[in-house]
Amino acid sequence: MKTKEYHIKIYSISRFIISFIITWITFYYLISDLLAGIENRITYALITLGTLVAAFYFSSLIGQARIKLVFTKEALLHVWESHFWFSWEKDISIPWEIIDTYVFEEDRTWDSFIINLTTKLRYKIDRLNIIPVNDDFDKLVKDFPNLSNHFKEGVELSHDTAFNSIKEGVSKYQSKSYKQGIYILTIAFIILFIFKITNSGKLAGILSLGVIGSAIAYYWSMINAKK
């Protein structure tokens, strides 16, 4: 059985967020004197936007690592091609026998591919989806259902054990707690929207609620898409 390799850029969400906050505050502090002397609002906004873009770029580098996922006869191998900054994790080997289910979850900022194990642990890789990424992540998501079962079946048949296929698991969007949270947010949004319309009606406040409403609508669409 031939091995199969996927080269993927993965992200650490916590590293990205923390580094973004620190980097942006640092950039903003360094140019605070410059901004104080700018009276033109457009120039001020462009410079501020520039610091955000720069912080995003540096954070994406700090929060990024490169891995190679290798489908072998006995196990799924996670091989580090480059580590996260200040990280020295070892390579990972996941025997096919303990792989139970898989889940692909899309979000507005991150895509996640999760492998649930019979040991109650899980293997998860995250990818930033708001910028173009040239890697094999999408191909992995597409190939995994059939390819993983092909390898697992070969192992279990060679060990003369019953074949338990790797199936698609339940995403967070289908969990009871997640749905309850969206219900509560939706009700709260409707109440706030009605209150805003009937009392102040300021455009800025309504636009802010519109942004929140679009986010809630997005997550409702994700719940319905997974049914």
Mean predicted lDDT score pLDDT of the chain: 82
φ and ψ at residue 51, rounded to 5 degrees: -65, -35
Summarised one tens digit per residue, pLDDT across range 55-65 is 898 998 899 99
Instruction: Collect all residues with Cβ–Cβ distance below 8 Å to 36 and sequence separation of at least 6.
Output: none
3-class secondary structure, 134 = coil
Residue-wise burial string across 46-56, b where 16 or more C-beta atoms lie within 10 A, e elsewhere: eebeebeeebb
Q: Tell me which amino acid residue 209 is.
A: L
- Report the distance separating Cα 70 and Cα 91, nearest Å: 11
Structural contact between residues 65 and 80, judged by C-beta atoms closer than 8 angstroms = yes
CA atoms within 13 A on the CB side of 205: 12
Q: Tell me which amino acid residue 207 is.
A: L
Structural contact between residues 226 and 202, judged by C-beta atoms closer than 8 angstroms = no
Structural contact between residues 129 and 111, judged by C-beta atoms closer than 8 angstroms = yes
Structural contact between residues 5 and 69, judged by C-beta atoms closer than 8 angstroms = yes
No. of H helices and E strands in the chain? 6, 8
- Check residue 212 and give its pLDDT: 64
- Check residue 139 and give its pLDDT: 96
**CA distances (Å), 89 to each of 4, 58, 70, 124, in order?**
23, 22, 17, 15
Name the residue with higher pLDDT: 27 or 204.
27
How buried is 169 (Cβ within 10 angstroms: 0-12 exposed, 13-18 middle, 19+ buried)?
A: middle
3-class secondary structure, 99 = strand
Name the residue with higher pLDDT: 39 or 176.
39
Name the residue with higher pLDDT: 29 or 141.
141
Name the residue with higher pLDDT: 33 or 113.
113
Summarised one tens digit per residue, pLDDT across range 60-87 is 889 999 999 999 999 999 999 999 988 8
Summarised one tens digit per residue, pLDDT across range 207-223 is 556 656 666 665 556 55
Q: Is residue 5 pLDDT above 50, yes or no? A: yes
- Check residue 220 and give its pLDDT: 59
Summarised one tens digit per residue, pLDDT across range 156-205 is 666 666 778 899 987 766 666 666 676 677 777 677 667 766 665 554 45
